[in-house]
Structure 1
Amino acid sequence: MLILGLSAMASCSDYLEEDVISAIGNDYLNTPKGLNDGINAAYSTMRLWYGTERGTNFTEFGTDLLTNGADGSWKFMNTYTNQFDSQNGHVRELWDGLYTGINTCNAVLDRSLDITGVNAQTLAQRRAEAKFIRAHHYFLLVQLFGGVDLQLSETKVPTKQVSRASVAQIYAAIIQDLTEAIPDLEAKNKSADYGRATRPAAEHLLGRVYITKGTSEAADPSDFAKAEPLLQSVINNYGFILLPDFANVHAFGNEMNNEVVYAIQYTRDPLTNGGGNNSHVFYLMEYDVQPGMQRDTENGRPFKRYKSTNYTLNTIFADRVNDSRYKKTFVDHFKSNKPGTYNTTFDKSKATVTFAQGDTTIWLPGYNMSAAERAKKPYQVMTPEMYTERIFPSLKKHLDPGRVDRTQFEGGRDYIAMRLADTYLLLAEAQFRQGKIADATANINKVRRRAAFSGKEAAMEITAAQLTFDFITEERGRELMGEQTRWLDLKRWGILIDRVKMYNPEGAPNIQAYHALRPIPQNQIDRAEGEASGFPQNPGY
């Protein structure tokens, strides 16, 4: 064994002595190509949030719309138990990753001042893109954590000199970045180099920033008025449209449609896709063990993580006669991909069911039916009284049948981060806050008319008297279900705690006021000078 060990050490010596030749030198960022690659690297940090497990857990779990299904992973983010603490992996990964992106932007901005060989317009645009990304990241951080470390120049060597800036200081930096970026970004609905930030994307983001700031401790009476023209500009000036059919907004293969204001790019190439867009797995019920069914790429890999609350199904999507969004948001039937005769599982109105390929195996009508009525159907009928943590209406917005096999986690669909319907709803909210009820109602109605079943457009319109704050919160739920907005919306409205207590039975017992902020990761506190005294933890954690 000793001889074999010595032989192995000798055989490895050549590898140990090899020179590393792939590292990028410090001066690379000072070149035109380095500038471009640097900003591309900063864009890649958007993938930390959109379409990821951490991003969806942070925004969908622990809200009024979604509670936990049977999946055991990360349930504490919905139930608000003390497992959600400063050692949380999602918190650490997001914090570190966003600051990596921020420092990359800082490096691009600092070094671009001395770059030669880049035309003035391109240089201004790249600098504007860096400011857009930096503002975006700080906006996430301030919403989730409150005051954080504010770094606006490149950190070149490790340092323990960090501190928590005020919320007002963070918002001032965000607003300055976006205000400066807007004039130099491409003034079109899609960049010539698709995926880059554009002027309307920055205007949409800044409009949301002002609306969020307007309900924060840094609020200014003019915040909602400042949001209004920015959001109106996105609607009026760039050729975006509400697609005629709500179902097409998230239709597979239609990610680059004319409602998309900004999207995060993913790919089918495993070498460049990072962890991929994972949102396709989290909202799906356990269809794959039911009679006549097996897992496939079309119906998805069902994690059973997020289950709609009764409030979502019975209140948010109560109107299923005029409003098409329940029908077009949830899966209401499955077709057999495993023919045969089976004993029934949840629908005991019949003993067995027999399916040929493509036959309906499960129908979810969305309302209860008598056993006698269900018995007439040649398939299982799943009514609301049968819903459990394993079987429930699946969300279909993020399904990704383009995956290479039925187990692949790393999806390749672009993630729609901003779209025009959201712009309309944000604009309506800004107008409502200013008392412009007629204008707000008109903008809400534009979204609602598009959501109507054909011929039901007039029935979907509301009057100014019907437009209340609660209506706005519910309309955002109907339109943006599963699009990584809900927790942030509830937090900025100041109703997170109340709504979870009212509508999320799993989260209700433990949620407290301090849960409106997330815990600072322990590794950040540990690497600060003075540790907890130098970088204090958020209260309650």
Structure 2
Amino acid sequence: MKNIGIGLFAILALAFSSCSKDFLDEELTTQYSTQYFETSEGLQALTVSLYGNIRWHFGSEWSYGTTLYGTDEFTNANDLTNEMWNTYDNRLGPAGATIATGAANANATLPSDLWDEMYYGIASCNTIIANADKIDDLKIRNRCLAHAYFLRGFNYYKLTAQYGGVPLQTKPAVGVVRNFTRATDEQAWEQSISDLRNAYKLFEGEVYTYGKGITWTKATAAHFLAKALLFRVSERNDAWNSKYKETDLQEAIDACSYAITARGALTNNYSDLYANWTGIDCPNEQLNEILMAAGHNGDPTTVGRFGNRTYNYFTPQFSSFSGGWVKRGVWIGGMDFQRCRPTEYSYAVYDHINDARMWKTFKTVYGANTVVTASAGVKIGDPAIVMILNTQNDNTYDNAKFGATIQNPTWKDQAGRLPEWTTGKRQTATAGALTAVKGQFVPNSLVLYQKGTYVAPTFKNQPICNFFAGINKTDDGSRTAEKADAHRDVIIARLAETYLVRAECYVRLQKYGLAMQDINVVRARAQWKNGENRSFYSDGSQAFKNNALNTGTAATNYTASNLDMNTYYLSNPTVPVTTAASDLRLTSFPASLPSEDEAILSKIGAASEYDRALNFILNEYTRELLGEWQRWETLSRTGTLIKRAKAFNAEATNITAHKHELRPIPQSFIDGLLNDDGSNLSDSQKAQWQNPGY
């Protein structure tokens, strides 16, 4: 059930609701009176409950709709639940879309969803800040204040990044308040930055305060303080931000430097961040690189209002287009809801040969876990879906036939042709070896390019492509049922981004040599290490090995489906089998950049030294952070959303400058506002509340 437009009107609601036991291992409580939140015990319990507010971001369709759709990285596949957030059509309006107004289903994200939930969290923070002097122990008081200032600053960051200036409520409301003043963008950013500065001062360093899990620390506050400062001085705010630029950039650099020094080196293997997730509370969830995560576990009593649903959104519809060869279940870590389809840019931005992140992120092989027809010659555990991620200048597969089969007795495709696999190569899981199997039939196969043309979207259109290589950052084989909540934490911030934020600050100060040093730290981790098997693949499906459901047929399905291989050598057919290290580090910046970046910069017309440097960093954000819930805000902040979406997202047909850099203010909120005398707002007053173009 959606909370329609009541977030700011009922700003005390969360403060008076239950504080659930969660991943912080706190005791379960039920419901409290307002007086309880004026006691030391109540304020500490309310502080712990703040961690629950960030779970909301990953509890439903809004997780990708507001952060990934309508950008250069992701577009919609055949599922159209949040299509309007990607196409920017007239259903993306202040009232939001319902089935009656053209939404595909009742799950469409509304502009009020984020608005309401952020103000609920702010309400709790206001209560803690206003009553903190009730906590006699100064250390505990400061700890509670640090958490409250951090979440309030974080929530105002999210609100201002999406909507621009918003109402600023910094004290507990008395009763239902229905008259507000909308802050300017400048005032809203000052509030977020002020709160994050306070949190940064009050946190005790890298002290983990509330049980296991990645809890908020001084480095967490430093990271988001730097991001808020960077947002204030970025292009979207150029009409008024000139007086802040030099001081904000230096403060952001200093904050990043604290986080980098405090947390130490990046995790050595990129796979350990996502692909090597082995189960609930595994060591990979405790990595020093992780600065902030929404915590989850396997205890059903701790789920609260929002579980982790993110495993649904990045996987292609393999059970449909595979003709039945690959059936879905808990043994495959992602449900095939085909929400987020990578754009051509999201494949082309990588160095396909030397960047290990690409092959540790994209899932390109599924094994057959059922035999549809014995005459096809495919056995359980043979490759049933193979996705070759080649480059535009590769002509190896120009005359090969690819596509998805349909299930019928004669095994003919929709054009009446027998499907065939004609590359003459089948990849095994053994150290990059290739076994020649002439005529080996793979029921479903895809290639990105033939004869220099991007052909991937032409396979299995219904009417939009649902056949693509998805990413594995949310896969979870620990689920207790096919559609049950995931149990893994969702990373919100990590140290690699901190390096790139600092690099961007250096770019804005034209200190390109220092920027290159930070970029190279991230790229050095991304390159292949000596001895690595480039054709090996893993993801969170492996948690199924420790799942109680891993018995009988399910165990067979796991082994058959997850072949621990990728298509590295099929996608790079001129590369000999090797376990040598690669090198991604830049030697010149920004005058000379890798060829994949030069092609992208050419397409968007980034020619000046600054534009080349900034857009390279935007590319590097993609390579490092693909799918990590922030791309729309990054592009809106840097004034590149319109240009990059038009260049790389074929479905973002209605995106409009001077409108879609901001989201619509929820109409339900505006309609509920009153003047000071209790009268309703006039139509002209309501129009003044709304963002331009809506």
TM-score, normalisation: structure 2 = 0.70
Question: In 2, are the aligned partners of 1:55 and 1:484 still within 8 Å (CA)?
Answer: yes
Task: Output one character per residue of 1:142-173: Cα deviation in whole Å (capped at 9) or x when no partner.
Answer: 11111100011001210112110111111111
- 1:23 CA displacement: 4.9
- Give the distance between the partners of 1:498 and 1:423, measured in 2 at CA: 25
Partner-residue secondary structure (3-state), 2:385? strand
- Mean CA deviation greater in 295-304 or 392-401: 295-304
- Give the distance between the partners of 1:80 and 1:378, measured in 2 at CA: 41
Mapped pair 1:466 → 2:587: no
Question: In 2, are the aligned partners of 1:28 and 1:34 still within 8 Å (CA)?
Answer: yes
What letter corresponds to residue 509 of structure 2 in structure 1?
A: Q
- Give the distance between the partners of 1:332 and 1:460, measured in 2 at CA: 26
Partner of 2:3: none
Task: Output one character per residue of 1:40-83: Cα deviation in whole Å (capped at 9) or x when no partner.
Answer: 23331212224642132101100011111011201011000010
How many equivalent pairs are there?
506
Question: In 2, are the aligned partners of 1:284 and 1:306 still within 8 Å (CA)?
Answer: yes
Partner of 1:141: 159
Mapped pair 1:521 → 2:666: yes
Q: Which residue, 428, 440, 444 being the options, matches 1:377?
A: 440
Question: In 1, are the aligned partners of 2:71 and 2:644 still within 8 Å (CA)?
Answer: yes
Mapped pair 1:277 → 2:308: yes
- Give the distance between the partners of 2:121 and 2:290, measured in 1 at CA: 23
Cα 1:31–1:444 shift into 2, 3 Å: same
Partner-residue secondary structure (3-state), 1:60? coil
Question: In 1, are the aligned partners of 2:214 and 2:286 still within 8 Å (CA)?
Answer: no
Cα 1:470–1:510 shift into 2, 3 Å: closer
Question: In 2, are the aligned partners of 1:267 and 1:276 still within 8 Å (CA)?
Answer: no
Partner of 2:105: none
- Give the distance between the partners of 1:263 and 1:419, measured in 2 at CA: 9
Cα 1:155–1:538 shift into 2, 3 Å: same
Mapped pair 1:360 → 2:399: no
Structure 1: gaps spanning 5 or more residues: 1-20, 344-351
Partner of 1:402: 478
What letter corresponds to residue 42 of structure 1 in structure 2?
A: L
- Give the distance between the partners of 1:22 and 1:50, measured in 2 at CA: 24
Partner of 1:111: 131
- Mean CA deviation greater in 177-186 or 102-111: 177-186
Q: Which residue, 248, 258, 268 being the options, matches 1:244?
A: 268
Partner-residue secondary structure (3-state), 1:458? coil
Partner of 1:259: 289
- Mean CA deviation greater in 477-486 or 190-199: 190-199
Mapped pair 1:297 → 2:335: no
- Give the distance between the partners of 2:137 and 2:181, measured in 1 at CA: 38
Cα 1:342–1:105 shift into 2, 3 Å: farther
Question: Structure 2 matches for 1:35-184, cutoff 5 A?
Answer: 35-50=43-58, 52-88=60-96, 89-113=109-133, 115-116=134-135, 118-184=136-202
Cα 1:421–1:23 shift into 2, 3 Å: closer
- 1:237 CA displacement: 2.2
Partner of 1:494: 639
Partner-residue secondary structure (3-state), 2:285? coil
Q: Which residue, 468, 477, 480 being the options, matches 1:392?
A: 468
- Give the distance between the partners of 1:302 and 1:203, measured in 2 at CA: 37
- 1:456 CA displacement: 3.8
Structure 2: gaps spanning 5 or more residues: 1-28, 97-108, 279-283, 391-395, 402-421, 425-437, 449-454, 460-464, 530-579, 594-612, 675-679
Partner-residue secondary structure (3-state), 2:41? helix
Percent identity of equivalent pairs: 28
Partner of 1:208: 227
Partner-residue secondary structure (3-state), 2:384? strand
Cα 1:69–1:121 shift into 2, 3 Å: same
Partner-residue secondary structure (3-state), 1:377? coil
Partner of 2:553: none
- Mean CA deviation greater in 210-219 or 187-196: 187-196
- Give the distance between the partners of 1:302 and 1:37, measured in 2 at CA: 38
Mapped pair 1:309 → 2:343: yes
Task: Output one character per residue of 1:105-146: Cα deviation in whole Å (capped at 9) or x when no partner.
Answer: 101111222x14x41101111011100000000001111111
Cα 1:135–1:434 shift into 2, 3 Å: same
Partner-residue secondary structure (3-state), 1:261? strand
Partner-residue secondary structure (3-state), 1:101? helix
Partner of 2:359: 327
TM-score, normalisation: structure 1 = 0.89
Question: Structure 2 matches for 1:230-241, cutoff 5 A?
Answer: 230-239=255-264, 241=265
- Give the distance between the partners of 1:443 and 1:236, measured in 2 at CA: 13
What letter corresponds to residue 447 of structure 2 in structure 1?
A: T
The RMSD of aligned alpha carbons is 2.1
- Give the distance between the partners of 1:72 and 1:342, measured in 2 at CA: 36
Partner-residue secondary structure (3-state), 1:413? coil
Question: In 1, are the aligned partners of 2:219 and 2:263 still within 8 Å (CA)?
Answer: yes
- 1:24 CA displacement: 2.2
Partner of 1:14: none
Question: In 2, are the aligned partners of 1:129 and 1:196 still within 8 Å (CA)?
Answer: no
- Give the distance between the partners of 2:163 and 2:254, measured in 1 at CA: 28
Question: In 2, are the aligned partners of 1:500 and 1:511 still within 8 Å (CA)?
Answer: no
Cα 1:229–1:281 shift into 2, 3 Å: same
